[in-house]
Amino acid sequence: MKIALSWLAKYIEIKENTKELEEILTFSGIEVEAVENIPALPETVFSAKIISAEPVPETDHLKRCLVDIGNFPCPEKTEDGYLQVICGAPNCRTGMMAVIALPGSVLPEMTIAKAHIKGIDSCGMLCSEKELGISDNHSGIIELSTETPIGITANELYELPDTIFELEITPNRPDLLGYIGIARDLSAKLNRSLKMPEIKIPEAKCKAETMPLELVNKVPELCPRYIARLFNKVELKESPLWLKSALIKSGLRPINNLVDITNYVMLEYGHPLHCFDYDKLAALPEKPGIPAIVIRRAYQNEPIITLDGKSYLLEGEEMVIADGIKPSAIAGVMGGNISAISETTKRIVLESAAFNPSSIRRTSYKHKISTDSSYRFERHLSEYSAEDASIRATQLICELANAELCEVTYDSFPFPPKPLILGIRSDRYTQVIGYELEDEKIRDYLERLGLKFLQYGTWKPGKINDIAEIESYSSENKQKSIKAQYYEIPHCRVDLEREIDIIEEIARLDGYDKIPVKTLPQRIMDRHSYRIKKNAVDYLVSRGFYETLNYSFSEPDLLYKLGYEDGDRELEMITLKNPQSSNQSAMRTSLIPQLLQNLAYNLNRGEKNIKLFELGKTYHRQEALSYEPYFLAGIVTGLNKEEHWQDKASPITLFWVKGIVEELLSLWHLENWSVQETKVPFLSRTESASYYLENKELAYYGKLNSIVAEKFDIDTIELKQDIWIVQFAMENIINATRTLKTHFQEIPRFPFVTRDISFLIAEEIPYSEIIKTIAEIERNIISEVTAFDEYRGKQIPEGKRSLTLRLKFRDKEKTLTDERVDYLIDLIIKKLRETWQIKMR
């Protein structure tokens, strides 16, 4: 569930910053899964009017627009005082009000620049919601009301900056499925007043005989309450911007004023609503001429087509909202198209109901339909909240659709539930939570939550329907009676059924951090560190490596053989006062010497294809204490896999070892690393590399120098094989990945388009910088950039190299056209020329 801070602030004063509010929500039991900040936009992004929109010759969708930006100063204006803009949006047309970003405007994913498209200057951009960072809607440019003045900034239009919280609501708290519920909970936590919307329903002008209705509830056990309000002379039109903006920020797409109103009230009160076209409702056969709404079970094999155009065959257990003949909706799940609102709708029925949660849950699961409506109904909504939502929607329909309210309200409420009364003992709170809380404090917390205090009395367990059942408490006879407070539970808190539920609410409001901890939990392991190391070991084993285990003791002479010199950090070893032997006289500072000894041992016994690794600590001096970081080192030589007659093996090469390193870094989700020259003395300078992230080394690989190999009794001339070494600085990797989170990414629905470009570029320019330059242009559409050819030769000028890139383009919202891709290619080439002075081949 997404909530916008600007909308939430309409019900409760918010003084805290985003981080503080996130912590308050989380420690109140409302889990914050994600926080998205929508920044303020530049003042050069504002409302404007399209004076004309003419097709660009030889294109199928581009239009040359003249845009009136009012008195805003802009040197690119034409002689008539308009701005010329090229736009490819399908809804772009003459006379519409839109949002324009002038050249130089910095948007969330791009910077607007003056462009030359199909021989025409384009001075700005007509923006979609996605380009402004408001939503993912990229289907067309923003269409404002024709009454919107020119020059209103996007910040005013969309209440920016804003913050969007994505919340995970537990199934037992349906009262939190709307803004008012969240505000009510914060009101209790922060002890601030709750500001409810002012509701004034206009006088009913439509007489009952004008719009008669037959309401029949055949399954009151499945539908304990059903409210129907009728409206005449409804005007179906586009919603005002404040309503559309509120829905967009909360993750819903605006459709029309009636649908938007029901969605708005659902988000506000947490209770779903639905509108039927009154004139499409059939009458009961026995009562012709009177449109009917019948709440019943579906018939066996009864068909229905829902609003999304899908057909379902009902099995007889589902509950439906039908007219006199056919089902008009799958109750609590989705409406049907037979009575859907359309452009011809003039009279409507507003439904607000409460359904049995188990029935909705079974229907949703059986037909694999999950909607905002079913999500709420299957968590048990109160019968009384149906009336609150209906009244609020009535007000908005009369205001925003200029509708006339019918004087009769149809309300099927056969068995109103009796008020629930629960008691709580302060002594029991102390026993369960672990500390005392005064009666006055308990009462204060519960009244903030909306519980109505009734009286003190002698303790009586269970649910109480009549306060007269409670005996008065006598302080003179404490041994025979236990003091308790009694409260009437508000209808919205269907989760409060027992004393322990109330105790949990008090503890939540008072703060879980106040609960005393008698025994601190013992942290016996770092789970994140364990997972990262286990991932590495599992991966190397899967690639044919064998793990070795060497002593933590070593000898300094081995490090001299590697090429280290006095003053190098590796030679500052911690020596043992009484070593068992000379070759175990110091604590090791590197895993490499012992791995070379392991390699020599195996080579001397006839093994030629060897892949070994070790994961272990090294020991370094650090003032009075030692520093003991983990490293993962590997050594390989020979063939890259087992020999097979059908699949020939090949010698291990630089690229095979490089692939091992980069695959592991990718497995840990490490990105944005840089490649630098390796500083270790025992590797070849030309066939080695180190990987850094924020100036900390992550890993290195390289070919072992033959001179170093000979010092470890390995004759590379006789061996006729290269020896490769890799090492990972596990401490740096563990710290770099500790705060990383894995995010779900939807599988793309639309195909990608491939283009190749080839150009000359200076040799000193890193490939990573070229990728960054390209990504800045359209990060969400340029999905992949690969360098598949690099050439240096006689035809290439000195200091240059020929680079060929393969670019993949994909739009998540629609299929890309050739014109759009060509336009992006032109932008990429222009950017590369301006930034790196490339020359196309």
Domain of 703, CATH number, reads 3.30.930.10
- Identify which of 725, 734, 590 has the alpha carbon closest to the alpha carbon of residue 658: 725
Least confident of 50-64, 499-513, 732-746, 826-840: 732-746
C-alpha span between 289 and 281 (Å, rounded)? 10
pLDDT tens figures, 247-290: 999 999 899 999 999 999 999 999 999 999 999 999 999 999 99
Domain check: are 561 and 654 in the same one? yes
- Give the model's pLDDT for residue 476: 59
**Closest to 141 in 3D by CA, of 53, 210, 273:** 53
Using the 8-state DSSP alphabet, how is residue 270 labeled?
S
What is the domain-level CATH number for residue 832? Answer: 3.30.70.380
Residues 483, 490 contacting (CB under 8 angstroms): no
Residue 752, CA atoms < 13 Å, CB-side half-sphere: 15
pLDDT of residue 579: 84
Residue 631 within any structural domain of the chain: yes
Q: Are residues 361 and 247 in the same domain?
A: yes
* Percentage of residues of the chain with pLDDT beyond 70: 99
Whether residue 562 lies inside any domain: the answer is yes
Burial class from Cβ neighbours inside 10 Å (0-12, 13-18, 19+) for residue 654 reads middle
Is there a binding annotation on residue 495? Answer: yes
Out of 67-71, 306-310, 492-496, 568-572, pick the least confident: 568-572
| Residue 264 shares a structural domain with residue 280 | yes
- Do residues 248 and 181 make contact, with C-beta atoms less than 8 angstroms apart? no
Total tally of structural domains belonging to the chain: 6
Residue 197 lies inside a defined structural domain of this protein: no
Asked if residue 602 and residue 633 are part of one domain, the reply reads: yes
Tell me if 184 sits within 8 A of 194, measured CB to CB.
yes
Q: Binding site annotation covers 504?
A: yes
- Write out the H or E segment, with its range, that includes residue 729: strand 723-729
Any domain includes 198: no
Q: Which residues pair with 48 in a beta bridge?
A: 98
Q: Verify that 831 and 724 share a domain, yes or no.
A: no
Domain match, 582 and 633 both: yes
| Residue (of 436, 455, 456) closest to 506 by Cα position | 436
> Does some domain include residue 234?
yes
Let me know if residue 119 belongs to a domain: yes
The reply to whether 822 sits in an annotated binding site is no
The CATH number linked to 173 is: 3.30.56.10
Sheet holding 421-424, edge to edge: 421-424, 483-488, 452-458
Residue 113 CB partners (closer than 8 Å, separation 6+): 103, 104
Residue range 439-486, pLDDT digits in tens? 999 999 999 999 999 999 989 888 888 888 888 776 655 555 788 999
Indicate whether 237 and 155 sit together in one domain: no
> Domain residues for 32?
2-39+163-190
Q: Which residues contact 329 (CB under 8 A, 6 or more apart)?
A: 274, 276, 320, 321, 335, 336, 339, 351
Per-residue pLDDT at 355 exceeds 80:
yes
Average pLDDT over residues 696-700: 95
Q: What is the pLDDT of residues 620-659, one digit of tens each?
A: 988 777 889 999 999 999 998 888 888 888 999 998 999 9
Residue pair 773/829 in contact by the 8 Å Cβ criterion: no
Q: What is the pLDDT of residue 796?
A: 87
For residue 151, the model assigns a pLDDT of: 93
Same domain, 441 and 400: no
Please report the pLDDT score of residue 469 as a whole number: 83
Question: Of the candidates 394, 412, 430, which is a domain's last residue?
Answer: 412
743 lies in some domain = no
Convert 769-782 to b/e letters by CB count within 10 Å (16 or more is b).
ebeebbeebbeebb
pLDDT at 809: 92
- Is the predicted pLDDT of residue 523 greater than 80, yes or no? no
Domain membership of residue 261 (yes or no) is: yes
Beta bridge partners, 217, equal 295
Task: State CA 158 to chain mean position distance.
Answer: 21
User: Does residue 561 sit in the same domain as residue 595?
Assistant: yes
SS3 686: strand
DSSP for 84-95 reads EEEE--TT--TT
Average pLDDT in the chain: 91
DSSP result, 636-681: EESBSS---SSS---B--HHHHHHHHHHHHHHTT--S-EEE----T
Domain CATH number, residue 49: 2.40.50.140
830 shares a domain with 689: no
If phi > 0 it is left, if psi is from -120 to 50 it is alpha, else beta; for residue 159 that is left
Instruction: Supply the CATH number for residue 335's domain.
Output: 3.50.40.10
Taking Cα atoms as reference points, which of 267, 222, 200, 206 lies closest to residue 409?
Answer: 206
Q: Classify residue 641 by burial, with Cβ atoms within 10 Å: 0-12, 13-18, 19+.
A: middle
In Å, how far from its chain's centre is CA 23? 18
Q: What's the pLDDT score for residue 662?
A: 92
d(CA 258, CA 335) in angstroms, rounded, equals 14
Cis amide linkage into residue 75, ω under 30° from 0: no
Q: Indicate whether 506 pLDDT > 90.
A: yes
Residue 629's closest CA among 540, 537, 698, 534?
A: 698
* pLDDT tens per residue across span 142-185: 999 888 999 999 999 999 999 999 999 999 999 999 999 999 99
| pLDDT (0 to 100) of residue 352 | 97
**Residue whose token pair is 């000979």:** 710
Claim to verify: residue 430 and residue 339 sit in the same structural domain:
no
Residue 499 and residue 552 in one domain: no
